[in-house]
Structure 1
Amino acid sequence: METNEVKGCVFCDIVAGRAKAHRIYEDDLSLAILDINPFSEGHTLVIPKRHVPWWHDLSEEEVESLFLVAREVSSKIMRAYSPDFVAIYARGRRIPHTHIFVVPTYRGDVLDRFFNALEGFQEGTAELAKLKEDAELAEAADRLKEA
């Protein structure tokens, strides 16, 4: 397996076994570890074993692995903690090695409040309201189809 390892990348060091991590689950292409700065108990990161800064640059096999591991970890979180929801989202900006946050959330916790506020902003601002118009949606769809 090619790792495309980058010196100084904490996730590459974890994959290589040079840095400590609490490993939860892994397959040939992905590794799930507990986040050391968790939003809630059980907050897990799923990382590709190969160093890839942006998730859209992963191979099809890596994408499949990443999301299958995220689903397995989500099931484990549901059994272990019984949260209201398990949120997942892709990151890779602050630590430029793509990763998926898999976070148990509960009504009223920081992520629940954040996503509710974000959805309220999404639904309630004049700037974004015009993006809901059919002409704007058709233009965006055409632009994406042609890209």
Structure 2
Amino acid sequence: MPTVFSRIIAGELPGRFVWQDPEVTAFLTVAPLRPGHTLVVPRREIDRWTDAEGPLLARCVEVAQAVGQGVQRAWDAPRAGLVVAGFEVPHLHIHVAPVWDMSDFDFTKAKPEQDQSALDDAAGKLRAALLELGYEQARDTDRG
């Protein structure tokens, strides 16, 4: 059975994409820690990050770094946080979010965003920042 992330990537479920390349995609989470909280996900289903082949894991981290630069720019954040937790969905994903201090990593505060336009706005803001930084992978990200 496909994971929820595979279903988002396939277009079966909605997603607010900010990055597309042949191996990796990134989209906003529906339960953000802060606006701009993004998930970097390989297209291929891999449950644990420790099971990923080195080159694919490296590509995921490269994309996470680019997304991190974008969230810092878009929200004028002092840092971009990166977390690999792996319990929510059995599909490798890297959380990237703008952060100001350690309390921003408290996942108990992550709640589903009720205002869908807030997610749309955050995705647009992040895509614009990524494009300003020269990342063309942020263009044409309407679908996975």
Fold shared by both chains (TM-score > 0.5): yes
Which one has a larger percent helix, Structure 1 or Structure 2?
1
- Cα 1:73–1:110 shift into 2, 3 Å: closer
Q: TM-score, normalised by structure 2?
A: 0.68
Against the structure 1 CA distance between its residues 29 and 36, is the aligned structure 2 distance closer, same or farther, given a 3 Å change threshold? Answer: same
Is 1:104–2:91 an aligned residue pair?
A: no
Residue 24 in 1 paired to residue 18 in 2?
Answer: yes
Contact 1:26/1:69 (<8 A) preserved: no
Tell me the residue number matched to 1:63.
57
- Per-residue deviation at 1:101? 0.5
| Residue in structure 2 matched with residue 14 of structure 1 by the alignment | 8
TM-score, normalised to structure 1, is 0.67
1:105: Cα distance to partner?
0.9
What displacement does 1:74 show?
0.6
Equivalent residue number for residue 45 of structure 1:
39
CA RMSD of aligned residues (A): 1.8
Question: Following the alignment from structure 2 to structure 1, what is the Cα–Cα distance between the partners of residues 10 and 100?
Answer: 34
The residue type equivalent to 1:34 in the other structure is L
| Cα separation, 1, equivalents of 2:86 and 2:104 | 21
Q: Larger relative CO (CA 8 A, sep 6+): 1 or 2?
A: 2
**Shift in alpha-carbon separation, 1:8–1:63, aligned structure 2, 3 A:** closer
Which structure is larger by alpha-carbon Rg, 1 or 2?
A: 1
SS state of the match for residue 91, structure 1?
A: coil
Instruction: Give distance in 1, aligned partners of 2:62 and 2:78.
Output: 21
Distance 1:65 1:82, change over 3 A: same
Q: Distance in 2 between matches of 1:65 and 1:96?
A: 19
Residue matched to 1:77: 71
Identity of aligned residues (%): 29
Q: Segments of 4+ in structure 1 off by > 3 A?
A: 107-110
Gaps of 5+ in 2: 109-144
CA distance in 1, matches of 2:101, 2:82: 16
Letter in 2 for 1:93: F
| Equivalent pairs, count | 107
